[in-house]
Amino acid sequence: MSYRIDPQFIAEQNARAHQQLQSDYEALAGVLSRRGCDIEALTGQAQAFAVALPSWGVGTGGTRFARFPGQGEPRNVFDKIDDCGTIHQLTRVTPGVSLHFPWDRTTDARALREAATQHGLHFDAVNSNTFQDAAGQAHSYKFGSLTALDPEVRAQAVAHNIDCIELGHALGSKGLTVWIGDGANFPGQSNLRGALERYLESMRAIYAALPADWLVYIEHKLFEPAFYATTIADWGTSFACATELGPKAKCLVDLGHHAPNTNIEMIVARLAQFGKLGGFHFNDSKYGDDDLDSGSINPFQLFLVFNELRDAAQRDGQAFRPAYMLDQSHNVTDPIESLMTSAVEVQRAYLQAALVDTQALSHHQKNNDALMAAQTLKQAFRTDVSAILAMARYRSGGAIDPVALYRASAYRDHKREERPVVAGRSSSGIV
């Protein structure tokens, strides 16, 4: 039996912190009520919020230079589910897990589903992988996958995506995220238009295999591994392809997949306006696809993204339900601590955006009062909603202070015993 944090231990740790939290919460309630905001409604909103975990995020990440493995890392998808379960147990904000195939391939989908259910988890969108060669596959993706010139390579990549849909279906997922590394490293290497034509042809075959209630998410990325011309490089290409494919195809915005200083919140607004915003891979970055912890570099940008999401939800109501997922790589921190902190940062940005005085904002906009419009956003962004987030966790059975409780539980020490190091293992599961 693998170690789990005892709910009694959570209750004991919370009991120590509760009084302080209650007084912080009451103080914040007073501040918010002067602004006409009801703290109880906000706490309810925080409790209802969710962001899915990337299965690949619970192992230590790495760069193309090196990977420094952590102790007690998950050895397989079942260990990953245990770690995701612990993150959700303490934060109460991560009930979904996004799997990546073939990294998370298992022959026993039923057992995996049961393991997830035991932790109160379900499976969010599944991810295909045609940016690496899997052991034993017939053809290499060295020169592309869904866009490859060789029809047999394309057929293999399409078949893998359909396989992912079937696996995901057996697990209760409702979506497939497709990110490809296809593109060119040299001018002239590839016919740019031809590559996109082949992409669409391949995606049409994948789209045709989607169950009725499924979506396919097209994930764009500016560059890497193709450094000269990436086939699905930007939201415009993603939008055009999603439109060509049909209503079950949507665009997925990974925050790290844009040039530095790109106005990502405006991309979000555009995609929402035209009904093609499918979801997110949240992370943070300084230079590119850094995969740093959400909110660790630019929390204001995260807030502005959620401000657009708030606007879209107000306009479109229940119909607007983008999928929220984290996509991060943890190289120098304990992945569980990073994912807990990141999930809470995303929840924080969501709640700060809920605090925006929308009436005041539109009043200032109508009067072309740029300064006060900006201040209206800043007032919401500057509000420290930590007490609401902690109260939401507490009321949902989680930890008032997830990282402190996790450390006090010695979870990682237990896992170090249970999961001895296996030589050559990588975080994703592919050696």
**Residues in touch with ligand LRH (CB under 6 A):** 56, 127, 179, 219, 221, 254, 281, 289, 327
Residue 254 beta carbon to Mn ion: minimum distance, rounded to whole angstroms: 4
Residue 162 beta carbon to ligand LRH: minimum distance, rounded to whole angstroms: 17
Distance CA 217, CA 250 (A): 5
289 binds Mn ion (CB under 5 A): yes
What, of Mn ion, ligand LRH, none, does residue 154 touch, CB below 5 to 8 Å by kind? Answer: none
254 binds Mn ion (CB under 5 A): yes
Closer CB to ligand LRH, 127 or 331, in the complex: 127
Distance CA 102, CA 428 (A): 9
Distance CA 324, CA 255 (A): 12
CB 129 within 8 A of CB 103: yes
281 binds Mn ion (CB under 5 A): yes
Binding-residue total with Mn ion (CB under 5 A): 4
What, of ligand LRH, Mn ion, none, does residue 101 touch, CB below 5 to 8 Å by kind? Answer: none
Closer CB to ligand LRH, 322 or 402, in the complex: 322
Distance CA 284, CA 295 (A): 6
264 Cβ partners below 8 Å, 6+ apart? 253, 255, 258, 301, 305
What, of Mn ion, ligand LRH, none, does residue 231 touch, CB below 5 to 8 Å by kind? Answer: none
63 Cβ partners below 8 Å, 6+ apart? 331
110 Cβ partners below 8 Å, 6+ apart? 170
Residue 56 beta carbon to ligand LRH: minimum distance, rounded to whole angstroms: 6
Distance CA 342, CA 220 (A): 22
Query: Near Mn ion by CB under 5 A, which window of 24-32, 119-127, 247-255, 369-377?
Result: 247-255
Closer CB to ligand LRH, 5 or 232, in the complex: 232
Residue 147 beta carbon to Mn ion: minimum distance, rounded to whole angstroms: 18
Helix (H) or strand (E) holding 431: none
For the chain, state the CA radius of gyration. Answer: 22
Residue 195 vs residues 148, 201, 246, 277: alpha-carbon distances, Å: 8, 10, 20, 24
Residues 381-400 contacting Mn ion, CB under 5 A? none
Residue in the shown chain whose Cβ atom is closest to ligand LRH: 179
Write the DSSP symbol of residue 306.
H
What, of Mn ion, ligand LRH, none, does residue 141 touch, CB below 5 to 8 Å by kind? Answer: none
Closer CB to ligand LRH, 298 or 386, in the complex: 298
* β-bridge mates for residue 217, sequence order: 177, 250
Residue 284 beta carbon to ligand LRH: minimum distance, rounded to whole angstroms: 13
Closer CB to ligand LRH, 221 or 364, in the complex: 221
Query: Near Mn ion by CB under 5 A, which window of 70-78, 145-153, 310-318, 325-333?
Result: 325-333
Closer CB to ligand LRH, 82 or 327, in the complex: 327
What, of ligand LRH, Mn ion, none, does residue 127 touch, CB below 5 to 8 Å by kind? Answer: ligand LRH
Residue corresponding to tokens 């919401």 = 380
CB 55 within 8 A of CB 100: yes
Distance CA 309, CA 352 (A): 12
Residue 110 beta carbon to ligand LRH: minimum distance, rounded to whole angstroms: 25
327 binds Mn ion (CB under 5 A): yes
DSSP labels, 30-56: HHHHHTT--HHHHHHHHHH---BEEGG
330 binds Mn ion (CB under 5 A): no
Query: Near Mn ion by CB under 5 A, which window of 70-78, 164-172, 264-272, 282-290?
Result: 282-290
Residue corresponding to tokens 């009321």 = 395
Beta-strand relationship, 183-184 and 215-219:
unpaired
Residues that bind Mn ion (CB under 5 A): 254, 281, 289, 327
